[in-house]
Structures are given as structure tokens and as C-alpha cells.
Structure 1
Amino acid sequence: MMGKQLIPRQRTELINLEEFVPQDHLLRAIDRHLDLTEFRAHLTDFYSQIGRPSVDPELIIRMLIIGYCYGIRSERRLCEEVHLNLAYRWFCHLGIHDRVPDHSTFSKNRHGRFRDSDAFRELFESVLRRCIAENLVSGEGFATDASVIKADVRRQHAVRGVQEIDWGNPDQWTRPVREYLAALTAANPLADPPKSISLTDPGASWTATAGPAFFAYSTNYLVDVKAGIIVDVEPSSTNHGAQAQATRIMIDRVEQRFQLKPQRLIGDTGYGSASMLGWLVKQKGIEPHVPVWDMSARKDGTFAASDFIWDATANEYRCLGGQVLRSQWRTFTNPRSHITKADTILYHSTKQDCQHCSLKPQCCPNTPTRKIARSIHEDARDLARSIMDTPQYQQSRCERKKVEMLFAHLKRIVKLDRLRLRGLSGAHDEFLLAATAQNLRRLAIRLTHAALVGPSLT
């Protein structure tokens, strides 16, 4: 017999949300380990003690976590999903009849007290402290990398970087334009003009990493390799120099705020510049598990700089013909460092030694003498080269994939392949929230799995 079920839609029912959320639901696992007590205390001074109560900031954060965990990029759609989804209501501590905040609440708080108090940074660090307390962060090895995220601008709404731009009435400047001009004024000396500048978001970089060029920002991750926990995140422009500088900022900040300094740093060739390796080895005492960025190899078949023998005691090179290359061949009254603007020292032979040498066609066929530019950080580069031959380096190459996995998750699951907010501060907010959601997922899943499996026998 065919059944028939027609329930009056206006019928009033008593609903317990606890019964509708499965015990193995991701939001249940996250809720067990999400503590917003520090976050609320951090925001206390940014709320008035009198007046009408505001929307609970914890509710806003819980809704944002849902959005970044499930790839809900639109805040309008996020409000609709929380209104309809019982598990989302349960996670946000909303009853079945409680009203969901309007989507405009997010932008008002983001551009106001959240940004003034750097609330998203506090949220990220509170989750990180929980990860450290649960022994998911060892601090022995960090991996760093950057991923390019498209900016929310049109390629056509741009001008050439060398073109003088009339930004119009200062009272009508948008927030990204104000941020860009403030950074431009603070730059001393001014950086080289970019190839193209977006009139909508001038802080975005013009890049062509794959296919046609576009405007973008880079999100830089510093990841502890033990469990793949993100220990810091920093936005930057898309060039290698800015990404290396962002890594320096992150390493210093993690050391200052959490007293964590790695024994080794894992990165790709973009972090193998002489200045970066010198900073890691000499100033921080960190082993660089990074390929050396070496452009000394020659394509014309002549001897490379690596074919010359370095004598550190005598401060000179010796060529294959037994001749000497020095940075200076006479004594100066006032000692000179001979350091160039590129942080190198030029070592050269004498014309008399080279002109009668039988190896000159293979050494310097087009110049009277042979010159070698030696970086002032060459000892750090030599250390990095020696590490590349060790089994530990091969292990580090495997562990670096944990950063790549996080970026794949960021773009495919979190769906952060294009920003919704503009300006460097907008990128800062989105990158921090995304990293917070990734850490919460990793924390919840690993601890839930450990609870089900039980303590390790080892």
C-alpha cells in the first residue's frame, strides 16, 4: 500500500538541535577545541560599556569559521546557509528561532574594531597556542613557501606603472588607494615602478606566474613540519624579494611571541639568495635546507667560478693554471672593503698572468683578465651546499610537501583562489582567517583520531 505523509507546514514542533548534529561531524570536533575566551578579552576595550548590546563577536567569528571551513566565500550566502543548516546553527549557538545577523555586520566589524584591534591575528594565535599545548608543534623544523592569490580587480582597469596617476579628490579615495599611497609615501627610497598598476587595488602586484598576467597578492606560510600546523602567515607582493622578506618577518615574530626558533628552515630556490642564507646562518643560527640560488654557471663552455680554488686564509682564488686572483693588488693608505652594491667582492687576476696563460681561451677569451664576484655571504652559501648532500636534506625535501598540500587545500577546499577583499589589509584578513580554519581542521581531526585510536604504544 502506498504511504502518504503530508505534515502541515505551519505545525509547531519542539526541536533539540543536539539530536540533529552527528557525533562525527567536523563542526563537533572543531567546537571541542575552539576556545574564544582570549579573543573576547582582547576585544573588550574596543566595545563601549554603555548603550545597546552589539552582535556577539563570537557569533561573527563562528560564522566566519564555517565559511572558511566549507568554502562559502560569499557572506550573503553564508548568512543564508547558517539560517537553513541545523548543524551551522548548533555550532553558532543559535536556536531554531534565533535571527542570523545581517551580512553587513561582517564588513562593519571588519573595517572597524576587528581591524583596529588586529582581532584576526589574535584569533589565529589563540588557535596556534592550543596546537602548541596539544604537542602538535615541535619547533624543530619549519617549512616556508608562498602561493599567488588573484586580487579582486579587472585587468583592464589599470595603467602603466611609469604613468603619472591622478587619484582625484582625497576625500573620495577608497581604502585600498589610501593604503597604497600611504605605503608609497613611507617608502624611502621609492621602489622601482611596477609594470602595471590597478586603479581599483593599487597594492596588488602585476604577475604572470601561469598564463596571461593578472593582479595578485602572495600568501606566505611558515609551517611546522611535525604535524603541518601553520605557525604564521603574512601577505606580500608576488616577487621573490618580498616573499623572502615575509619569511624573515614570520620567523622573527614566531620567535618573539612563542619563543620558537627552528633548527632548520626548508624552502625552495626562491629562498636561496645570498642575503637570505646569510641572514639565516649568521643572524639566526638556522640551518638552511634550501637550494642555493647560483647563477655563476657559464653557458659558453668557459670555466665557472666553482672551478677556481678558494683560499680563505690568503683571501684569494687560485685558477687551474696556478695563478692568483685577489680583490686588491696593492696596499691602500685607507683600508677599503671592496664591497659592491650587490654585496659582492670582485677578485681579479693580473693582465701579465693571463696574457701568456695557455688556458686563457677556456677561462677569459674576451677579456684581458678573469674576474670572480664573491658574495659576502659565500660562507653561508657553502654551508647550504654542504647540507644539500646529506640524508637530512632529502628528508626535508619530502617534508616541504606539507606546505604544498596546505596551498592545494586552500585553493580547492577553502576556495581561496581569488580574494574578495581589496588592499593589503583585506588580503591580511582573508589569509589569517583561512590559516586559522586550516589549523582548526588539522587540530580537530588529529585529536579526534588520536582519541579513537588511543595512546600510541611507542
Structure 2
Amino acid sequence: LGAGAGRAVREYLATLDDAAFGAASEVTPKFISPSDPAAQWTGAHKGHAFFAYATNYLIDTDHGVILDVEATRAIRQPEVGAARTMIDRTEDRFALKPEYLAADSAYGSAANLAWLVKEREIAPHIPVFDKSNRTDGTFSRADFMFDPDANEYTCPGGKRLVQFRRSYKTPRTGITSAGTRLYRASQHDCKVCELKPQCCPNMPSRKIPRDLNEDARDVARAIAETPEYERSRHRRKKVEMLFAHLKRILRLGRLRLRGPSGARDEFLLA
């Protein structure tokens, strides 16, 4: 590194392994700013793309008070990590721990919901990030009932989907490289089933993947059916009001300082 390298460049190199910046994604950025390489090239506003940082708020939804602020790259992965950072930091600084966390579906991944439910015991008032719903008219995973005691699914036709149909000398975990367990129906059951055209018309039998943290996702789905969730959805709009205040009233549409620390300082001052 040359002696004439600016502070923003030195900070970029120092944050390459930081989960909020360099390590946030394995994807190589399309463009890198020569003067502020840690900034993210983004076209999120459907207009001209530009280099930007993201500001993340943790607020008290009852009173609309900002409890913590965190600067990250302007992509989804570090923003989810920022929520965890702010929750931990707020508890350390102010001894405040939320009973629930309200956020949009970007925070509804299985890993994040598991962290909230299992590690922090915080109720996730968050839509589940779920791609299992089918749009071709065939049965989705939600149409299959899971029995945690028997560790099996039951299909709409009343047949079982299990992980293993025989015993192995060496016990198998049944966990795939994608971090899921696969539950399969019997080919014999599927072949004679009247519902096969609605279930697996192009496959000999149906299989259902289940995430290792699906139980945490089930907790979030159950909460989504409650009146409390509906109220928290309305309260969640308060954070958008604070973002609007930042942009429209405080006129912070452009940062004056470069680098992660410059973005962090400006967001904190605002």
C-alpha cells in the first residue's frame, strides 16, 4: 500500500473481513469507487446507479425513539447482521432487550429467525422469507403436515414422507449440503395416488426439503396469525418516518465524509 493512499482506501482494506462491509457478500462488486472503495454500487431506487452506504435503525416502536444506528454496505446481508449487532449493543449499553422484533421479509431468513427465537428468545414479528409456495397449481410444502414427534410429513392423500425407509449400519445425519433434511414419499404410494397430477406430475414421487431451522420459521408463521403481529406491522411504519425525516428534513441525501467510519459518524450525528 503506497504512502499516499487516502484514509478511505486504508479503511476499505481494514474492513475486508468485516461482516458489515468486505465480508458481507462473496460476489465481486461490479464497480469499485477509487476514492471510497468500501461504498456499494447500487441502483436500488430504479434510477441512475450510484455509490452508497446504508443506515440501519433500531427503534422503540412505542415511542418512535432511535436506540441505535449502524452503517453497512447497501445490500441485504449486512443489514440483517446490523440488526443483530444493534440488539446486542443496546442490551450491553442500556440493559434493554426487546420482547419482539418487527421488520420486513429481508430479515425473515431461517438463520436469522433461529437466532432470534433460539438464542435471544425474541419474538419475530417478521414475514418468513419463503420460496416454497408453488404457482403452477401443484401442492406446496404448506399443504403437507409435519409431525415433529414422528419426524415425518403427511401428504394431502394421507401418505407418509420420511427421511429413511431402511436402517443403515453407519447412522446417517440426513442433512444435505444446503442445510436441509429431505423427506420422500414411497414411489408405490405416489404411483397409484389420484392426487399425483396435483402433487408431482413430472416426478416418480414427491420429496419435501425441510430447513434445519424450520421450527423457528414455524414460530414466525404462528405469530403472523395473531392480532399482536398486525399491530406491530403498523408500528413498523415509524422507522420509515424516521428515514424520511433523515432525507427530507435533515437533507442527508449525500455524505460528506468517506469510508465506513465517515458514514458511521454522519449517520450517528444525524
Length-normalised TM-score, structure 2: 0.92
- Whether the 8 Å contact between 1:234 and 1:246 is mirrored in structure 2 is yes
Partner of residue 36, structure 2: 201
2:49 to 203, 208, 213: 213
Deviation at 1:185, TM superposition (A): 5.9
Three-state SS of the structure 1 residue aligned to 2:41 is: strand
The residue type paired with residue 249 of structure 2 is: I
For 1:6-405, what aligned pairs fall within 5 Å after superposition?
A: 170-184=2-16, 191-210=26-45, 211-405=47-241
- Give 5+ residue unaligned stretches, structure 2: none
The residue type paired with residue 364 of structure 1 is: C
Higher helix share: 1
CA 386–364 in structure 1, closer or farther in 2 if over 3 Å, else same: same
Deviation at 1:182, TM superposition (A): 2.5
Deviation at 1:230, TM superposition (A): 0.8
Deviation at 1:190, TM superposition (A): 8.0
Partner of residue 265, structure 2: 429
- Whether the 8 Å contact between 2:105 and 2:129 is mirrored in structure 1 is yes
In 2, Cα distance between the equivalents of 1:329 and 1:201?
A: 57
In 2, Cα distance between the equivalents of 1:359 and 1:230?
A: 53
Three-state SS of the structure 1 residue aligned to 2:35 is: coil
- Whether the 8 Å contact between 1:217 and 1:235 is mirrored in structure 2 is yes
The residue type paired with residue 153 of structure 2 is: Y
CA 188–214 in structure 1, closer or farther in 2 if over 3 Å, else same: closer
The residue type paired with residue 176 of structure 1 is: A
CA offsets 1:284-342 (integer angstroms, 9 cap, x no match): 00111111111111111111000011111110111112221112222233333323343
- Give 5+ residue unaligned stretches, structure 1: 1-168, 435-458
In 2, Cα distance between the equivalents of 1:177 and 1:271?
A: 30
Stretch moving more, 190-199 or 310-319: 190-199
The residue type paired with residue 301 of structure 1 is: G
CA offsets 1:41-88 (integer angstroms, 9 cap, x no match): xxxxxxxxxxxxxxxxxxxxxxxxxxxxxxxxxxxxxxxxxxxxxxxx
Identity %: 55
In 2, Cα distance between the equivalents of 1:364 and 1:307?
A: 13
The residue type paired with residue 6 of structure 2 is: T
Deviation at 1:195, TM superposition (A): 2.4
The residue type paired with residue 256 of structure 1 is: D
In 2, Cα distance between the equivalents of 1:378 and 1:257?
A: 32
In 2, Cα distance between the equivalents of 1:190 and 1:270?
A: 15
The residue type paired with residue 384 of structure 1 is: A
- Whether the 8 Å contact between 1:225 and 1:402 is mirrored in structure 2 is yes
Three-state SS of the structure 2 residue aligned to 1:373 is: strand
Three-state SS of the structure 2 residue aligned to 1:372 is: strand
Three-state SS of the structure 2 residue aligned to 1:374 is: strand
CA offsets 1:351-388 (integer angstroms, 9 cap, x no match): 22222222221111122221211111211111111111
* Root mean square deviation, CA, Å: 1.9
- Whether the 8 Å contact between 2:25 and 2:77 is mirrored in structure 1 is no
Deviation at 1:398, TM superposition (A): 1.4
- Figure out how many residues of one structure are paired with residues of the other and give that number: 266
In 2, Cα distance between the equivalents of 1:244 and 1:261?
A: 17
In 1, Cα distance between the equivalents of 2:99 and 2:17?
A: 38
- Whether the 8 Å contact between 1:348 and 1:369 is mirrored in structure 2 is yes
- Whether the 8 Å contact between 1:184 and 1:190 is mirrored in structure 2 is no
Higher strand share: 2
Three-state SS of the structure 1 residue aligned to 2:264 is: helix
Matched, 1:420 2:256: yes
Deviation at 1:217, TM superposition (A): 1.0
In 2, Cα distance between the equivalents of 1:205 and 1:396?
A: 31
Stretch moving more, 309-318 or 210-219: 210-219
In 1, Cα distance between the equivalents of 2:231 and 2:190?
A: 45
